[in-house]
Structure 1
Amino acid sequence: MEAHRLHPAHYLLKPLEDSKIDEALDWIRQKQAPSVTPVYPQPKRIMIKHRIDSSFDAHEWHTECVDPGEIVFIAKNKSVNNLKIQLANGNVLERVNGTIKDWENKYAGLGLVQIHRSHLINLTHLKSLKPRGNEGEDYKVALKNCPSELAVGPEYLELFREKLHKGVL
């Protein structure tokens, strides 16, 4: 009765047999619902709404239709709650609503990886990972089509390296 209160996935009787264990594990693998984050279909174009400053201190909202592969990096703007998106053509979309986590989750299939609490990069634009020189064990990344080098936060370095070694590129 106690076992049933715990909602067992399967049961085995003694003496244990390898074939019965394999059968039980196969049954569990087939029946267990995968615990993954929702997968969003990856769009061919993304509509990105951003704010620009026009003449006379007026603010205008523009919507850019962007090929997701053109996104080089996404950065959190300091002291304000919005993002800046660097595109491969050199354009920068400022004051985009959302968070780094929103973008990482929604567009995970595009190779976007968080490397710092305020930076998300597109791995297809990665040029190099290098030490920051005299600043200890910290690293920075250089990106194609971008003069900026971005810091890699120490808490993100191990996961970032794992993704690089798995051939996510």
Structure 2
Amino acid sequence: MTEMIRALVVDDERYAREEMIYLLEQFERVKIVGEADSGELAIIKAMQLQPDVVFLDIEMPKVDGMEVARTLGSLKKVPLVVFATAYPQFAAEAFRVHAIDYLLKPYDEEQLRQTIARVEQLLQPKTDASPKRIDRLPVEMEGEIHYIPIGDILYVHREENWTKIVTPTRDYETRMTLKELENRLTYSSFFRIHKSILVNLVHVSSLTPWFNGAYQLEVDQRPEKLSVSRNYVKELRQRLEG
């Protein structure tokens, strides 16, 4: 990637905007294309300037940062969103509007450096037509955001109003539906084996006939047997056996 990263800085406090602009100007490949002191102006400038990334405050009068982020998501060119705020309690909601990072004031320069590196990676031109694969899944649990490496997930199981994400070391529970997770994991090695189960094919260790055309499946490092509905068996075997 050789083009400049076009950044829009949004904060209703002048000195906070100036500080963020100063810090961003230390990065050779970041170009500040505009700034805004309100949510309304942020949306207008994003439409006019088409930035690659918006550094966005949350607590603003009238139109707050969350509403701005939701509106930006509907634009023809959707910019990356990095929240920059003094309030840690909005982190969980921030990731529900697909923010790529959450910076707390006063800003930590090393964290900002990592954020810019993430922006650069996400803006890299794709070398083929394949969608970009994510390598970590953000999951909110008990007020915290856990970043689960996709490769560590053994399987995902929907149980009543919760979805359980199973890894070798621990289980995570989320209110995300199985369909939501399936959509997020589309370009990874996951396959639905039952109406309530997604399995990471990388970790499948055995497949055993059961009854009426159904099978039972086992994954690495877990003793339980998972039910494979007969409607999924043929495609599952094709995926596993190449």
Whether TM-score is above 0.5 comes out as yes
Would you identify which runs of 4 or more consecutive aligned residues in structure 1 move more than 6 Å? none
Q: 1:40 to 1:63 in 2, by over 3 A?
A: farther
**Identity over aligned pairs, percent:** 25
TM-score normalised according to structure 1 size: 0.61
Q: CA deviation at 1:105?
A: 2.3
Q: CA deviation at 1:49?
A: 1.1
Aligned residue number for residue 99 of structure 1: 177
Correspondence 1:127 to 2:209? no
User: Partner of 2:182: helix, strand, or coil?
Assistant: helix
Mapped to 1, the partners of 2:184 and 2:165 lie a distance apart of: 15
Aligned residue number for residue 45 of structure 1: 136
Taking only aligned residues, the RMSD between alpha carbons, in angstroms, comes to: 1.9
One-letter code of the match for 1:93? Y
User: Partner of 1:110: helix, strand, or coil?
Assistant: coil
Mapped to 2, the partners of 1:125 and 1:47 lie a distance apart of: 21
Mapped to 2, the partners of 1:41 and 1:61 lie a distance apart of: 28
Q: CA deviation at 1:106?
A: 1.9
User: Partner of 1:108: helix, strand, or coil?
Assistant: coil
Aligned residue number for residue 87 of structure 1: 167
Correspondence 1:140 to 2:140? no
Matches within 5 A, 1:62-77: 62-77=144-159
TM-score normalised according to structure 2 size: 0.44
Query: Greater relative contact order (Cα 8 A, min sep 6): structure 1 or 2?
Result: 1
Q: What are the ranges of 5 or more consecutive residues in structure 1 without an aligned counterpart?
A: 1-38, 51-59
Q: CA deviation at 1:110?
A: 1.7
Correspondence 1:161 to 2:237? yes
Mapped to 1, the partners of 2:209 and 2:171 lie a distance apart of: 26
User: Partner of 1:142: helix, strand, or coil?
Assistant: strand
Q: What are the ranges of 5 or more consecutive residues in structure 2 without an aligned counterpart?
A: 1-129
Mapped to 2, the partners of 1:129 and 1:71 lie a distance apart of: 18
Correspondence 1:61 to 2:167? no
Indicate conservation of the 8 Å contact 1:111/1:122, yes or no. Answer: yes
Aligned residue number for residue 152 of structure 1: 228
Mapped to 2, the partners of 1:146 and 1:108 lie a distance apart of: 24
Mapped to 2, the partners of 1:65 and 1:147 lie a distance apart of: 25
Q: Based on CA coordinates, which of the two structures has the bigger radius of gyration?
A: 1
Q: CA deviation at 1:158?
A: 1.7
